[in-house]
Amino acid sequence: MSPTLLWKLDTRILPLFILLVLCSFLDRTNVGNAKLYHLEADLRMTNAQYNQALTAFYPLYIAGEIPSNLVLKKVTPRIWIGCMASLWGLICMCIGFVHTFAQFVSLRAVLGLAEGGLFPGMVLYLSTVYTRSELALRIGVLYTATSLSSAFGGLLARAVAEIGDRGGLSPWRWIFVIEGLFTMCVGAAVFLILPNSIAAARFLQEDERAVALQRLEGVEHGTGNKEIEEKFAWSEVRRAIFSPQTWLSASAYFGLLTGIYSFGLFLPTILAGIGYTANSAQLWSAIPYSIAACTTLAVAFLSDRLQLRGTMMLCTMPVAIVGYAVIANIGASHPRVKYGMTFLMATGLYSSVPPVLTWLANNSAGHYKRATAAALQLGIANCGGILASFIYPNSEGPRYHRGHTVVLGLLVAGWFAILANVVYCAKVNRDKARGRYDRYGGYGDDREPAFKMVL
């Protein structure tokens, strides 16, 4: 696409999605900030019940991903994503008015269901707007917003807490109410602004829409029109479920997300071991995330430029593997070395995410196959959030040998899964070159002889 056309798409779509990612992570993690303002005491919760409430978010979050992606096209992205955000914003507001543990844990579970379709839906939507060579950088931009939410969430909670006990609500309740209201406003903006497709983008001139559509169809080797006309078929769902690429990439992503979800659990312990005060620790804990965010964007840009996904991960994942190998086997008397390893861990983990998400979307053509594959990949990977909450118990700090070793093993296994997927994709390309896929000509999906798998 021309730079002007690409700029129009980026400035109309990405800001909305960045706000959605920011709201999603704020609304699911603000419970940690609310805890600082006596959430547990007011609801008479034990620490075990608090952990149960945290875990309750994930089962329905994971279960909702595939159904959400399957209905996205029929309901239209503008309506589905906009209503989804407004709904979870409303649920977040309702949490500010709960009075019992049962009410709290129930709303946390429903919040997970409401949020579950967001990230797979965004990946699916972006894959229909940008070409295969433009997708990784856009997903990289979205994923860096998650690290921004970690920094912004604490500052926002601090500002909201300054309201104090007003309107009969304690500070922790105001955190949920205000952040939920903000999310509802973003959902309304999505409903009003987000185009359902390139063809429906009102901010593009007629000739620009034609150029954008031709560009997509040319890169996808004719699958563009087929996807627009495609009707739902269970055979496409089965193709995604039984695709080796889905399971190999999901296995690697599971290891990555287990590391990412657990990263914040042990970082404060390392900083405390160095002797930093609470205020200093806030600053020092932000540095690994900042370095990782910059590296993530650089890797995503390079991945798009070189048109390499799995090959990039074969280079980025070992960075995290080295960090975990060292930190798992070093004593508690070396906190500065441990802190240094967190830079390698964060850099390797976060920079591997855009390639793994983009890779499966790039190599899955046929709308409903791509929708199912993207959601299934994220559903499997998000189970890492459940695992992460159990492998880093406070009783095993400050060394956390078991937790680090588990993540290390998952990352090593994930690296081999990525290697296997690269080999598999290369074999498919060779088979297509030899004519073994000629019988699929005209299918309009990733089995087309002209559709080359990205490595």
CB-side exposure of 168: number of CA atoms within 13 Å? Answer: 1
**Backbone angles phi and psi of 417, in degrees to 5:** -65, -40
Q: Check for a shared fold between 6-219 and 243-455.
A: yes
Q: What is the pLDDT of residue 278?
A: 54
Distance separating alpha carbons of residues 444 and 437, to the nearest angstrom: 13
Distance CA 260, CA 256 (A): 6
Q: Tell whether the model's pLDDT for residue 116 goes beyond 60.
A: yes
| Contact status, residue 188 vs residue 86, Cβ threshold 8 Å | yes
Confidence of residue 449 (pLDDT cuts 50, 70, 90): very high
* CB 356, CB 454: distance < 8 Å: no
SS (H, E, C) 53-67: HHHCHHHHHHHCHHH
Instruction: Tell me phi and psi for residue 169, to 5 degrees.
Output: -115, 135
Among candidate residues 338, 190, 329, 160, the one with its CA nearest the CA of residue 263: 338
Where are the domains positioned within the chain?
6-219, 243-455
Report, at the CATH architecture level, how domain 243-455 is classified: Up-down Bundle (1.20)
Distances (CA, A) of 420 to 78, 321, 354, 363: 37, 18, 19, 15
Q: Where are the beta strands (DSSP E) in 86-214?
A: none
Say which CATH architecture domain 6-219 belongs to.
Up-down Bundle (1.20)
Whole-model pTM: value is 0.87
Residue-level pLDDT at 421: 98
Distance separating alpha carbons of residues 349 and 411, to the nearest angstrom: 9
Kindly give, in sequence order, each residue whose CB lies less than 8 Å from that of residue 247, ignoring residues fewer than 6 positions away.
Answer: 380
Tens-digit pLDDT profile for residues 137-174: 999 998 888 766 766 666 676 677 677 777 778 888 99
